[in-house]
């Protein structure tokens, strides 16, 4: 009955009953001009698994890093993550980023991404803003058991959702 909030409707809320969660890795570099790519395994409340690859170009303070990321959006499905968007964020070993874009039906999609630095240049603090483009590859053709494992892995590991 409360699958949209992992049977914990008191501590976890999804008012629409739809969202996406993801885990993955981000590689970025900036020295005024910033470029990056993020790859994530993403699932939605309809148990659609996918691989989302996001390319980003913008501006930022000098930094180079590889980070583990967790994300959450209000998109109805993983397919609503495809296309152009934008993001603003920053980090000091642990980072955060707010993202925005439009779903297939024109509704606004907002997201939050947390990151933990794995490897970086010794820069104490960085801030950035960028234009993004995301590609979505469905993993729906995977065997049912593997899709279930991916769904549980992403949902259980995503600190933003738990």
pLDDT of 35 strictly over 90: yes
CB 107 within 8 A of CB 75: no
pTM over the 0.85 mark: no
Number of C-beta neighbours around residue 123 at 10 A: 15
Residue 104 — very low, low, confident or very high, per pLDDT cuts 50/70/90? confident
SS3 126: strand
The residue behind tokens 């995503």 is 158
Mean pLDDT, the chain, rounded, equals 85
Task: Say how far apart CA 102 and CA 15 lie, in whole Å.
Answer: 19
Residue 16 — very low, low, confident or very high, per pLDDT cuts 50/70/90? low
Task: Say how far apart CA 82 and CA 76 lie, in whole Å.
Answer: 12
pLDDT of 49 strictly over 60: yes
């Amino acid at each position: 009955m409360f699958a949209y909030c992992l049977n914990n409707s008191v501590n976890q809320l999804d008012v629409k009953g739809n969202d996406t969660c993801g885990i993955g890795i981000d590689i970025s570099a900036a020295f005024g001009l910033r470029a990056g790519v993020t790859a994530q395994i993403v699932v939605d409340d309809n148990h659609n698994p996918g691989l989302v690859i996001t390319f980003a170009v913008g501006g930022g303070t000098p930094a180079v890093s590889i980070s583990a990321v967790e994300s959450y959006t209000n998109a109805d499905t993983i397919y609503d993550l495809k296309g152009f968007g934008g993001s603003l964020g920053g980090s000091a070993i642990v980072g955060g980023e707010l993202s925005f874009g439009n779903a297939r039906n024109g509704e606004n999609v907002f997201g939050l991404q947390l990151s933990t630095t794995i490897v970086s240049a010794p820069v104490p603090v960085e801030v950035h803003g960028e234009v993004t483009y995301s590609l979505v590859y469905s993993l729906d053709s995977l065997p049912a058991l593997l899709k279930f494992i991916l769904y549980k892995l992403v949902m259980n590991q995503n600190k933003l959702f738990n």
